[in-house]
Structure 1
């Protein structure tokens, strides 16, 4: 989920988190036992749009946004392909499902929530059964409409990174790495300055520890700081490792062997060593 944040003259988002369903809903596997995408809610007077990489649907009042998102999915998915490869979008997963809600009440219903806490500020949520491919993205239409074209592409790219990681079984990385990597990919070709991407994080006092999962609560006051710091952490890793393939391998190693092993493979003695380098990275980004 992402909280709408004004960065310079561009409306972007600063708090996006993957929403995992702890228990798969009934009928979420095929006759062969392979997981299926979460069901989407059929909405009155539903509008549908399709492109090579996405299927978008939502209410009539969101028609223009629905059609734009289906089209925008093409460059967003291509950006993810460059960073993650193309295995995440093969076969039945070739097209990601985008469901656009007409408001927060509708979004809460799609998410099977009984309240709308934090949803006003939420632009999009990637959902799916835990430990299964997640190929559905729920979009808060009114929040998305307020974004610039660049902001929309950034958010959609960020969400598709989550879809890619989960579709290839890499959904158990630390939250700061999941979110930081998604922002790293989403912002990489925008030409935005560091202070435009992570203004609140770069202005805050230097952190003592990496962001915890609770720091990414969309209703929290410091969520933008958590996302900006996570982006800075992945920027450091990208500089140290030197290639998209190496950053992806680091990500996968955290899932398979743990964060300590992954950090050692990247040349850091331990997490404290990484934190010290990360603090220096934040200082350098703030001065850029």
Structure 2
């Protein structure tokens, strides 16, 4: 996981940015689960399998160790090809990896469903197709994403080159095999839908948005197909709220940085903030709020744009919205 974005008029930015999405709820994890369980559905359209090949987008992967900021720094070294990789193609997905073909096929089915779900919510024009890279082990995953820090909380990373107009041109979703092994089929579907949301937004909207909104919106789309209760999905956050250790303000970039500690509560807090906007104002207003909070500039400028968007799009203020959101968290965390 992880998805904001450089924009037109800023060609000096690094050619690749990354995002991270995490498996944030115990409800979607299992103590031990194979990379692909036997109940995972197959693609509805029979996929075709290509011979061994490298990743679908073998362009620059970051060489440094950036944190998960809204627009992290990136290097220009080419990503390492996956040895002996093969490719499975679904209706709306291309999955390349070194895991077994059954797992690639299952991922293609999930990615196809993810694209369909994202397309119903994100109405801007985007390719409506995703590329997934599925390494077989942690070493290959780290080589693909160019990081050596602790990624145990990260289920997948979306990265890709940025075009001259500031939009991503060839994003790929790189799966963390260790994290996926701990997820149920529903959890893997959530992650691929979350990351596909990043692909859709990055390819159709140039600029930088507040990270809580970026990740909260991706979670909003990712959880949309779940029939689980909000209190079950958000349990790790709501337990902290009940104990008096919940958030006091909207999540910052640091709250969503795995290098600084546990990030599940920050992601869940971001999701519930976005859910509140969608519930009170509707999906079209949520999209307009996202668009109005996205700017060609710095994260600080995006924060300023967000304050205007609260007023102009939602008819409120950040302070008043935060009070309503914190009240909502307390309501959800209250004993039933």
TM-score (norm 1): 0.82
Quickly say closer, same or farther: Cα 1:145–1:63, change in 2 above 3 A. Answer: farther
Residue 39 of structure 2 corresponds to none
1:1-288 aligned within 5 A: 1-4=20-23, 7-8=26-27, 10-11=28-29, 22-23=73-74, 25=76, 41-59=80-98, 61-85=99-123, 87-89=125-127, 94-113=128-147, 115=148, 117-129=149-161, 131-133=166-168, 135-204=171-240, 205-242=245-282, 244-256=283-295, 258-287=305-334
Shift of 1:76: 0.9
Deviations 1:107-166 (A, max 9, x none): 1111123x2x22233210001235431521111123213321111110000001111110
- Alpha carbons 1:18, 1:125 under 8 Å: kept: no
Shift of 1:4: 4.1
TM-score (norm 2): 0.71
Aligned residues: 263
Quickly say closer, same or farther: Cα 1:206–1:121, change in 2 above 3 A. Answer: closer
Structure 1 stretches lacking a partner, 5+ long: 27-38
SS where residue 134 of structure 2 aligns? strand
- Alpha carbons 1:177, 1:251 under 8 Å: kept: yes
- Alpha carbons 2:25, 2:236 under 8 Å: kept: no
- Alpha carbons 1:65, 1:145 under 8 Å: kept: no
Deviations 1:71-124 (A, max 9, x none): 2111111110111026112xxxx43211111222211111123x2x22233210
Distance 2:110 2:270 in 1: 25
Distance 2:83 2:191 in 1: 26
Structure with a larger share of its residues in helix: 1
Quickly say closer, same or farther: Cα 1:76–1:235, change in 2 above 3 A. Answer: same
Shift of 1:42: 2.7
Runs of 4+ in 1 over 6 A off after TM superposition: none
Distance 1:184 1:176 in 2: 12
- Alpha carbons 2:285, 2:313 under 8 Å: kept: no
Shift of 1:286: 2.5
- Alpha carbons 1:2, 1:218 under 8 Å: kept: no
Across the aligned residues of Structure 1 and Structure 2, the Cα RMSD in angstroms comes to 2.4
Residue 33 of structure 1 corresponds to none
